[in-house]
Amino acid sequence: MDIKRYLEEKKGLVDSYLERYFSSKIMPEILHSAMTYSLFAGGKRIRPVFSLISYESLGGDPLRILPQASSLELIHTYSLIHDDLPAMDNDDMRRGRPTNHRVYGEAMAILAGDGLLTEAFHMLTTNEGGLSDKALLRAVRDIAQKAGIYGMVAGQAQDILSENSEPDKDILEFIHSHKTAALITASLRLGPILAESDDNILSLFTAYGNNIGMVFQIVDDILDLTGDPSKTGKSSGSDERKKKLTYPRVYGIERSRQKARELVEEAIELISTLGEGAKPLKEVALYLLKRSS
């Protein structure tokens, strides 16, 4: 299968949904502008796409869960806006253009992030696909847990606390599994949760999501050192300059690459029991190892 085309097609569904959703302006207009500046800045939409793939691999129609899948992009975009703030990573460039606070100022960037996070939960409960209330409630709880203080926010806090600290494998594992893998795992769990699959299936997607989420961050760490800034959209070596705890810093580049390959192999093995429906999940796992942006 042509995985690049398949991913592009799914991304197109998410892009169209988000464009429609944000087509009517809210007041003050500058808030709308600040939110959409980052939301439509060329992100890969990988988290919503993961949700659509997981739902489809279980026989569901991806169009049915577009609001739920797309809500993950709002959470992801808020996290990037806040991560770039002077009080956090203090970055000037993101996705090849000035960061949100560089264009709209700190106050508006904070509010744009707050607005996107809150609106994500509003969007998540938009029930156009006739999903059951029980499934939706479970999805809300799951995403809140993985995006918040038991997941991404905890990972971000530890990441900040660990700057300039000595390399430590356990802390590195905590940061990556919380900061990045938690939201990616939530994306992959969304399919089985909304399809109301049994617990065995849900745990398969959880394990696959954890592995793939870790791979995503390991590859991100490697790209920070070796990537082409015109493709990654940010200057290379920024993790090193900030003395971030990264995979290459703890294990070196070659062992980090090996670790990513092993996690992908394990992830593919995990979902092999799903049969033909798991093909895109297998292909996307392999594709992540090769990504350059």
Q: Which residues bind ligand GRG (CB under 6 A)?
A: 43-44, 46, 76, 79-80, 82-83, 95, 152-153, 156, 179-180, 216-217, 220
Please, what is the minimum distance in Å from the beta carbon of residue 131 to ligand GRG?
Answer: 25
Spell out a b/e string for 266-281, using b for 16 or more CB atoms within 10 Å of the CB, else e.
Answer: ebbebbeebeeebbbb
Please, what is the minimum distance in Å from the beta carbon of residue 244 to ligand GRG?
Answer: 9
156 within 8 A of 120, measured Cβ to Cβ: no
**58 or 152, CB closer to ligand GRG?**
152
Q: Closest residue (Cβ) to ligand GRG?
A: 43
Please, what is the minimum distance in Å from the beta carbon of residue 21 to ligand GRG?
Answer: 17
Please, what is the minimum distance in Å from the beta carbon of residue 180 to ligand GRG?
Answer: 4
- Quick one: tokens of 146? 């993985």
Q: How far apart are CA 84 and CA 118, in angstroms?
A: 19
Q: What is the DSSP letter of 130?
A: -
Please, what is the minimum distance in Å from the beta carbon of residue 217 to ligand GRG?
Answer: 6
**14 or 65, CB closer to ligand GRG?**
14
Q: How far apart are CA 72 and CA 41, in angstroms?
A: 16
**83 or 283, CB closer to ligand GRG?**
83
**26 or 88, CB closer to ligand GRG?**
88
Tokens 């799914």 locate to: 10
